[in-house]
Amino acid sequence: MTKLRQFVRTWCRSERRRRLALLAVTLLCSLPASAVEPLRLTTDGRVKRDPVILNPQGTELLYVLHDKPNRLRLMKLTLKDGQSAPLHPDETRSEFEPAVSNDGRYLAYVQNRGNLSLAMVVHDLVENKITELPPGGGFSGMHSPTFTRDNARVLFSYPEEGRQSIYSVDLDCKNRRTVVASAGVNNWPHCSPDGKRLVFSSTRDDDYELYVAHLDGSELQRLTTSPKQDIRPKFSPDGSRIAFTSGRDGNYNIYVMGADGSGLAPVTTHVEHDDYATWHPDGQSLFVVSERNGQFDLFLVPLP
């Protein structure tokens, strides 16, 4: 900013031109962060979903690529050089909805076992140990795994007895506990950084709205009220905010609000879809899957 002002003073000969130019520079540099262009991370335009930081340093991003008509593939993006590669090059089954533990040691994801029969896989990346929670009978299975902040349990959504509730298991996929149970669908759980709260989306009051509760399901509080879906919530790294996808403006866009539901603000306002927000470790930007001109790519979007 200082060098730019010095250049303007040198380049503009008249006092009037200099004042006008300096005013323009001041206005430009004072634009809100929402006016800053998002950084495009991929350029292939293929359908993507489910980005998540792969390591605590924030140098690698895991995401899902729709690479064939009937397959979803886990991909690892190295942010330094922008290179993507399959996480499991020899895997032929669809794998999606990845989650990474807070310490980066454990990876959980959903794996299709055929005919919409979905298993949950937990992989210890240090000891290379894999445990599985097999699908139930019929067209069912686990969805949206996420780790507790002490890296001891995995939460997930599962349809059972005419409803879809949130459960947890240990890292051996045993000792199942009910966390949130109600009529309708409860999905997309995510734990707060202090390990005490859970945010999720639920249809218990008609359409998808966001709720928070303690990890035992108690002290339930509704955060949003909109005529359209509010889905895929994520706590910020410091726990003070929640990012989520909403169709409240007639199109899917990304919003951010306080952890108590206050201060709602749009992050994106594009006519095409923005979805699957996940926080950058600095808490100042979001990784987002954005549709632009019919193409789907990963972007790093600064917060307003």
Name all domains of the chain by residue range, CATH numbers in brackets: 1-30 (no CATH), 37-302 (2.120.10.30)
Q: How many Å apart are CA 197 and CA 106, to the nearest integer?
A: 21
Q: What percent of the chain has pLDDT over 70?
A: 88
pLDDT range class, residue 15, cuts 50, 70, 90: low
Please compute the mean of the pLDDT values over residues 3-31 and round it to a whole number.
Answer: 43
For residue range 64-104, list pLDDT tens digits in order.
Answer: 999 999 899 999 999 999 999 999 999 999 999 999 999 99
First to last CA, the chain: 20
Please compute the mean of the pLDDT values over residues 7-15 and round it to a whole number.
Answer: 45
Cα 217 to chain center, whole Å?
Answer: 22
| Per-residue tokens: 129 | 């140990």
- Which has the closest alpha carbon to 126: 149, 107, 110, 109? 107
Q: How many Å apart are CA 247 and CA 274, to the nearest integer?
A: 10
pLDDT of residue 1: 42
Pairing assessment for the beta strands 197-202 and 274-279 based on DSSP bridges: unpaired
| Per-residue tokens: 272 | 């095409």
